[in-house]
C-alpha cells in the first residue's frame, strides 16, 4: 500500500520541444521558466470568471471530494476517490452518467486510485490499487481491456502503449527497472524506461497523477525534480525547468538525509520552506502553477506572450479562509483555467462576485466550477 504525502513540482510547455529519438530520455534543448516574487494579491490576478457551473445535485450525483478533474470536448469527468466513482456532467452542469464498478470481478476494480481520459480513443483508463489497469469506453463505460502491471498513474498513448509512473524500482522476469516512467504494452511487456529513480522513497508526492495533455501533446513531471518532460513517438524529451525567486526545491541529498533520520518529509519540507505539491496547467495565453512552500500556498503565473512570470500567495495554512481561493485549478478548457470552489469551505469567506455567492448559497454540497480567462 502506498503512503500518500504531499510534494509535487513542475510545469509544462510554451511551445513544442525539439524532437529527440531513442527509447531512453532524449536530450532536447531545455527552457527555463522563471517566476519572480510578485507584489500582487491572488485577488488581483489577470483572470476573470467567464463561466460558472454548479454541478447538478441528484441522488446519483452527490460529490464528496474532487480528486481529479478532466474537461473534455463536450463533457466533464470528475473522479471522487472516497466514493470510488467517476461522475460525468455536461457544460451546463447537468448530471449525465457515472462509472462505478467496485468489486473483484475481471471487469471491476478493487480500489480506483487514479484515472486518465483519452477522447481520441474514446476511453477512460483506471488504475486499480496501483497494480492493475482497466480501460472502459468513455460514452457508455463498457469494459475494453485489463492489464496487470504496477503504476500510480497511467496514460494510454495510442492503442499499443501505456505509460506508468512509479516511485519504486520494478522487477519483471528477473530484471529490475530503476526508472520513474515505464512504457508497457497492453499485455504487460515493458517497451521503454525513462528517468532514473534517484530516490526510491516509496511515497507518493501529491499529485499522484503526473501527466498533462496540452495541444494534443502529453507531458510528464516526476517527483522531486523541477522538470517537465514531453512524450511522443520519438520518446521522452526534457522541456522545461521551473525556478521561483527566493525559493528552492528539495535536493536528493536533503531527501536522503531526512529518510536516514526517520523524519517526516512534509514536516521537514515545511520547516525548511522548500517547494512541494506543485502542479502545472497551461492555456494559450498563460501557464499557472499552484504550489506550496512552508505553511503557505502560492500560484505561479507565466505570461506566454510577454515571457514573464511571477508568483503570489493564495492562502496560509492553519488560518481561517477569508477569501475564496480562485486558484484551486484542477483542469483547463480551451483558453480557460478551471478552478474548483467547495461551498462548505467558503461559507464564511468574502465573495465579491455576486453570481458565485448565489451559487455557494444555493449548493447542498456539490462543488462549483469556475472557468477563468
3-state secondary structure of 56: coil
3-state secondary structure of 290: strand
pLDDT digits (tens, 9 = 90+) for 45-60: 788 899 999 999 999 9
CA torsion angle 278 282 285 290 (round to 10): -20
Residues 6+ apart with CB under 8 A from 175: none
> In degrees rounded to 5, what are phi and psi of residue 89?
-130, 160
pLDDT digits (tens, 9 = 90+) for 271-318: 999 998 888 899 999 999 999 999 999 999 999 999 999 999 988 998
Confidence at residue 18, expressed as pLDDT on a 0 to 100 scale: 34
User: Domain range spanning residue 181?
Assistant: 3-372
Q: Name the more confident of 167 and 338.
A: 338
- 178 CB-side CA count, 13 A: 6
Confidence at residue 5, expressed as pLDDT on a 0 to 100 scale: 33
227: β partners: 241
Q: 44 pLDDT band (50/70/90 cuts)?
A: low
Confidence at residue 23, expressed as pLDDT on a 0 to 100 scale: 38
Grid cell for residue 144: 475494453
Q: Which of 4-8, 150-154, 199-203 has the highest mean pLDDT?
A: 150-154
* Of the listed ranges 30-34, 202-206, 215-219, 303-307, the one predicted with least confidence: 202-206
Q: What is the DSSP letter of 110?
A: S
Report the alpha-carbon distance of residue 108 to residue 94 in Å, rounded. 26
Residue 63 has pLDDT above 50, yes or no: yes
- Average pLDDT of span 170-187: 93
pLDDT digits (tens, 9 = 90+) for 330-362: 999 999 999 999 988 777 777 888 898 889 888
- Average pLDDT of span 222-250: 90
- Asked if 258 contacts 268 with a C-beta cutoff of 8 angstroms, the reply is yes
pLDDT above 70: percentage of residues in the chain: 89
Is the peptide bond preceding residue 207 cis, with omega within 30 degrees of 0? yes
- Asked if 241 contacts 14 with a C-beta cutoff of 8 angstroms, the reply is no
Q: Name the more confident of 5 and 154.
A: 154
242: β partners: 33
CATH number at residue 97: 2.120.10.30
Q: Name the more confident of 4 and 182.
A: 182
- 327 CB-side CA count, 13 A: 28
- Average pLDDT of span 71-89: 97
Grid cell for residue 149: 502491471
Grid cell for residue 285: 495565453
Confidence at residue 205, expressed as pLDDT on a 0 to 100 scale: 67
β-strands 3-4, 203-204 pairing: parallel
Please tell me the total count of domains within the chain: 1
Confidence at residue 343, expressed as pLDDT on a 0 to 100 scale: 86
Confidence (pTM): 0.88
Start-end of H helices in the chain: 252-260, 265-271, 354-362
Amino acid at each position: 500500500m502506498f503512503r500518500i504525502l504531499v510534494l509535487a513540482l513542475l510545469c509544462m510547455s510554451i511551445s513544442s520541444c525539439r524532437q529527440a529519438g531513442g527509447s531512453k530520455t532524449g536530450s532536447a534543448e531545455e527552457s527555463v521558466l522563471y517566476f519572480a516574487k510578485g507584489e500582487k494579491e491572488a485577488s488581483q490576478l489577470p483572470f476573470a470568471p467567464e463561466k460558472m457551473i454548479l454541478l447538478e445535485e441528484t441522488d446519483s450525483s452527490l460529490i464528496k471530494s474532487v480528486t481529479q478533474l478532466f474537461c473534455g470536448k463536450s463533457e466533464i469527468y470528475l473522479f471522487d476517490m472516497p466514493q470510488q466513482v467517476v461522475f460525468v456532467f455536461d457544460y451546463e452542469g447537468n448530471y449525465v452518467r457515472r462509472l462505478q464498478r467496485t468489486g473483484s470481478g475481471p471487469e471491476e476494480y478493487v480500489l480506483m486510485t487514479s484515472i486518465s481520459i483519452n477522447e481520441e480513443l474514446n476511453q477512460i483508463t483506471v488504475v486499480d490499487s496501483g497494480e492493475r489497469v482497466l480501460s472502459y469506453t468513455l460514452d457508455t463505460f463498457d469494459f475494453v481491456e485489463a492489464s496487470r502491471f504496477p503504476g500510480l498513474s497511467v496514460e494510454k498513448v495510442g492503442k499499443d502503449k501505456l505509460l506508468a509512473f512509479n516511485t519504486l524500482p520494478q522487477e519483471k522476469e528477473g530484471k529490475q527497472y530503476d526508472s520513474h516512467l515505464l512504457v508497457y504494452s497492453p499485455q504487460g511487456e515493458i517497451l521503454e524506461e525513462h528517468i532514473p529513480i534517484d530516490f526510491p522513497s516509496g511515497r507518493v508526492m501529491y499529485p499522484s497523477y503526473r501527466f498533462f495533455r496540452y495541444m494534443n501533446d502529453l507531458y510528464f513531471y516526476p517527483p522531486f525534480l523541477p522538470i517537465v518532460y514531453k512524450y511522443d513517438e520519438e520518446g521522452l524529451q526534457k522541456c522545461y525547468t521551473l525556478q521561483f525567486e527566493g525559493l528552492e526545491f528539495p535536493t536528493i541529498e536533503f531527501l536522503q538525509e531526512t529518510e536516514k533520520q526517520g523524519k517526516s518529509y512534509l514536516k521537514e519540507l515545511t520547516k525548511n520552506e522548500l517547494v512541494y505539491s506543485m502542479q502545472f496547467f497551461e492555456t494559450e495565453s498563460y501557464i499557472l502553477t499552484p504550489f506550496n512552500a512552508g505553511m503557505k500556498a502560492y500560484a505561479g503565473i507565466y505570461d506566454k506572450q510577454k515571457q514573464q512570470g511571477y508568483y503570489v500567495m493564495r492562502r496560509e495554512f492553519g488560518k481561517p479562509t477569508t477569501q475564496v481561493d480562485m486558484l484551486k485549478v484542477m483542469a483547463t478548457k480551451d483558453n480557460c483555467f478551471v478552478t474548483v470552489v467547495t461551498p462548505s469551505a467558503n461559507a464564511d469567506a468574502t465573495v465579491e462576485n455576486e453570481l458565485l455567492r448565489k451559487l455557494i448559497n444555493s449548493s447542498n454540497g456539490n462543488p462549483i466550477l469556475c472557468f477563468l480567462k
